[in-house]
């Protein structure tokens, strides 16, 4: 893939000085239109050979365009905070919103390539990372992002000459480190691994653009013109609806589903409930104070029918926890800031550190529930969300997160009784809204969506726990017991 980047491409000074002013003006115009429309973000990845002009290119783009609308991120070694989360967490946090340009100097490609060259991960692990990267970038482009991936290349002889030149000049000596020379010794291996990674990840949605880095004028004009052309084409193209590429889901022909087989008559007496509550709250408290808990995190997410008892169940969990080590994330309609990002962004930002518990009151499953039923997103969007959610949860579990998912199910008759009770009791009236009544009219649509959700996202690593919640005592104990069992099972694997 690198042959064309070893031909000795050059641009003379006269041509460069003539073209740069026009290019800068056009880039600024495109950038301001991008910010004004705010319909999509631009994500620029800068990678390649040491000494090929990666840093200079980042500085140049900031110089040529308005830095107020550019967010540049130099991704070096992860911090302690970043190491306690899934590897992609640091990149999700840095994604630019719609209307902005985000530059990643060092990206999600750097660590897999370097680690494989140094022999710290196997080829199979590299390929797993590549597959995950492809799914991540596909998700970003499906969400509307424009991704430009630049790989700056130098031949082995040119890189050696470049490093020596930088090292001789007192003004640039600081840019050449021992690490650069150590990696130069592995040039052939870096080239082979990088070529493999680029070949496997140069997709139709996000192709790699290999640029020869020898001549700064050629490099600068090439990047500037590619960036301008890509942004201009996207701005000038009419928006197209995403095509549906999957077969539609169908309900079982006998109308039997996972909610139909739940035994909704299960109950606990108040006396037994109080005894079990004390037992499992105490057990949960001890588990979260165990030394092994410091090496894991817990995410408990709650979905369910309106008036299903999510709030009461959450309060019974938090009563057993140290308030310093848990957070409750109530999920409502996305804010303007959240709508400017891919839909999973607002959940990635709340992933807990090790030794912490995060509780989501509603969650990322809103895309395949309320957004599906209320048609807040297209069918193509919620259909692809199943695989995107499974991938997200796999990354959480791979990072020692105990993910426990609860669906609180009640019958339609029990929901009506609770709605009417809430309207009568003064301190409960805030819990009932016109939207709750309106949602009842779509009961069957929601049940169909719930069953599809369970069928497609109840995996061996993150299964759904369906909770028969007509009786609140029974539901709360089942939830506490399940949470304790899952944490205990994870500790036994340590």
Indicate the burial class of 217 (C-beta count within 10 angstroms; 0-12, 13-18, 19 or more).
Answer: middle
What pLDDT does 151 receive?
96
Domain count along the chain: 2
| Res 429: pLDDT | 66
Position 450 scores a pLDDT of 96
Q: Is-contact 290 351, C-beta < 8 A?
A: no
Same domain, 375 and 467: yes
Residues 6+ apart with CB under 8 A from 209: 148, 149, 150, 151, 226
The per-residue pLDDT for range 399-419, each reduced to its tens digit, is 999 999 999 999 999 999 998
Q: Over 90: is that where the pLDDT of 255 sits?
A: no
Q: Which residues form the domain of 198? A: 3-236
DSSP one-letter code for 459: -
Q: Which residue has the higher pLDDT, 6 or 130?
A: 130
Instruction: Answer whether residue 244 is part of any domain.
Output: no
Supply the CATH number for residue 107's domain: 3.40.50.300
- Average pLDDT score over the chain: 93
- Rounded percentage of the chain residues whose pLDDT exceeds 90: 82
Q: At which of 236, 261, 280 does a domain end?
A: 236
Q: Are residues 300 and 211 in the same domain?
A: no
Q: Is the pLDDT of residue 256 over 90?
A: no
Residue 249: pLDDT band (50, 70, 90) is: confident
- The whole-number pLDDT of residue 243 equals 58
Express each pLDDT in 276-313 by its tens digit.
999 999 999 999 999 999 999 999 999 999 999 999 99
pTM of the full structure: 0.91
Same domain, 345 and 207: no
Q: At which of 185, 219, 236 does a domain end? A: 236
Q: Which of 236, 260, 280 is the last residue of a domain?
A: 236
Asked if the structure places residue 364 within a domain, the reply is yes
Does 176 map to a domain? yes
Regarding whether 294 and 419 lie in a shared domain, the answer is yes
pLDDT of residue 431: 67
Q: Quick one: 211 and 278 in the same domain? A: no
Residue 258 within any structural domain of the chain: no
Rounded to an integer, what distance in angstroms lies between the CA atom of residue 146 and that of residue 232? 11
Give residue 252's pLDDT band: very low, low, confident or very high (50, 70, 90).
Answer: confident
Express each pLDDT in 346-372 by its tens digit: 999 999 999 999 999 999 999 999 999
Q: What proportions of the chain, in percent to the nearest 5, are helix, strand and coil?
A: 55, 15, 30
Strand partners, 150: 46, 209
Sheet holding 357-361, edge to edge: 326-330, 357-361, 297-304, 401-409, 464-468
Half-sphere exposure of 443 (CA within 13 A, CB side): 13
Helix (H, G, I), strand (E, B) or coil at 357: strand
Which of 6-10, 219-223, 357-361, 432-436 comes out lowest in average pLDDT?
Answer: 432-436
Q: Which uninterrupted H or E stretch holds 407?
A: strand 401-409
Q: What mean pLDDT is predicted for residues 228-241?
A: 87
SS3 418: helix
- Same domain, residue pair 178 and 313: no
Crossing angle of the two packed helices 216-236 and 54-64, in degrees rounded to 10: 50
Q: pLDDT digit string (tens) for 43-76? A: 999 999 988 999 999 999 999 999 999 999 999 8
Pair (207, 314) in one structural domain: no
Tell me, yes or no, whether 316 lies in a domain: yes
| Helices of type H across 97-215 | 110-117, 123-142, 156-168, 178-185, 187-201
Q: Is the same domain home to 411 and 327?
A: yes
In which band, very low, low, confident or very high, does the pLDDT at 248 lie, cut at 50, 70 and 90? low
* 165 and 307 together in one domain: no
Q: Are strands 401-409 and 464-468 parallel, antiparallel or unpaired?
A: parallel
The string of pLDDT tens digits covering residues 417-453 is: 998 888 887 666 666 777 778 888 999 999 999 999 9
Please check the confidence at residue 244 and state whether its pLDDT lies above 60: no
Q: Sheet holding 146-153: strands in order across?
A: 70-74, 101-105, 42-48, 146-153, 208-212
Residue 237: predicted pLDDT: 87
Q: Which residue has the tokens 């680029």?
A: 198
Domain annotation covers residue 133 = yes
444 in any annotated domain: yes
Q: Is residue 249 part of a domain?
A: no
């Amino acid at each position: 893939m690198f042959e064309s980047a070893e031909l000795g491409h050059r641009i003379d000074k006269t041509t460069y000085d003539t073209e740069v002013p026009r290019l800068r003006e056009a880039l600024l115009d495109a950038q301001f239109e991008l910010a004004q429309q705010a319909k999509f973000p631009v994500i620029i990845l800068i990678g390649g050979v040491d000494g090929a002009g990666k840093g200079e290119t980042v500085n140049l783009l900031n110089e040529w365009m308005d830095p107020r609308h550019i967010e540049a991120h130099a991704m070096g070694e992860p911090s302690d905070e970043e190491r306690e989360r899934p590897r992609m967490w640091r990149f999700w946090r840095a994604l630019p919103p719609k209307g902005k340009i985000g530059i990643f100097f060092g990206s999600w490609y750097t660590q897999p390539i370097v680690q494989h060259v140094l022999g710290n991960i196997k080829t199979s692990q590299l390929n797993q990372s590549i597959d995950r990267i492809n799914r991540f970038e596909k998700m970003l482009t499906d969400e509307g992002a424009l991704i430009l991936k630049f790989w700056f290349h130098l031949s082995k002889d040119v890189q050696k000459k470049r490093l020596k030149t930088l090292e001789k000049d007192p003004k640039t000596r600081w840019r050449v480190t021992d690490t650069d020379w150590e990696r130069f010794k592995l040039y052939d291996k870096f080239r082979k691994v990088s070529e493999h990674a680029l070949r496997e990840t140069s997709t139709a949605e996000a192709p790699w653009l290999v640029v020869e880095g020898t001549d700064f004028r050629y490099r600068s004009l090439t990047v500037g013109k590619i960036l301008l052309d890509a942004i201009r084409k996207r701005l000038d193209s009419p928006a197209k609806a995403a095509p549906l590429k999957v077969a539609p889901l169908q309900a079982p022909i006998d109308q039997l589903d996972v909610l139909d087989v739940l035994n909704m008559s299960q109950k606990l007496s108040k006396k037994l409930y109080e005894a079990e509550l004390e037992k499992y709250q105490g057990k949960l408290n001890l588990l979260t104070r165990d030394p092994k808990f410091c090496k894991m995190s817990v995410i408990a997410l709650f979905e369910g029918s309106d008036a299903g008892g999510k709030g009461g169940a959450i309060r019974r969990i938090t009563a057993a926890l140290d308030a310093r080590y848990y957070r409750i994330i109530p999920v409502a309609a996305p804010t303007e800031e959240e709508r400017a990002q891919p839909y999973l962004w607002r959940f990635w930002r709340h992933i807990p550190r090790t030794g912490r518990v995060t509780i989501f009151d509603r969650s990322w499953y809103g895309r395949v529930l309320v957004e599906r039923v209320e048609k807040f997103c297209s069918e193509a969007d919620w259909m692809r969300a199943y695989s995107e959610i499974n991938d997200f949860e796999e990354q959480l579990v791979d990072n020692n997160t105990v993910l426990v998912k609860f669906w609180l199910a009640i019958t339609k008759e029990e929901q009506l009784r609770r709605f009417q009770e809430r309207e009568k009791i003064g301190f409960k009236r805030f819990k009932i809204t016109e939207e709750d009544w309106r949602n009842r009219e779509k009961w069957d649509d929601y049940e169909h969506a719930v069953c599809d959700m369970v069928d497609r996202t109840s995996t061996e690593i993150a299964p759904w726990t369906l909770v028969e919640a007509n009786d609140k005592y029974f539901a709360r104990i089942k939830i506490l017991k399940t949470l304790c069992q899952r944490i205990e099972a994870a500790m036994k694997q340590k």
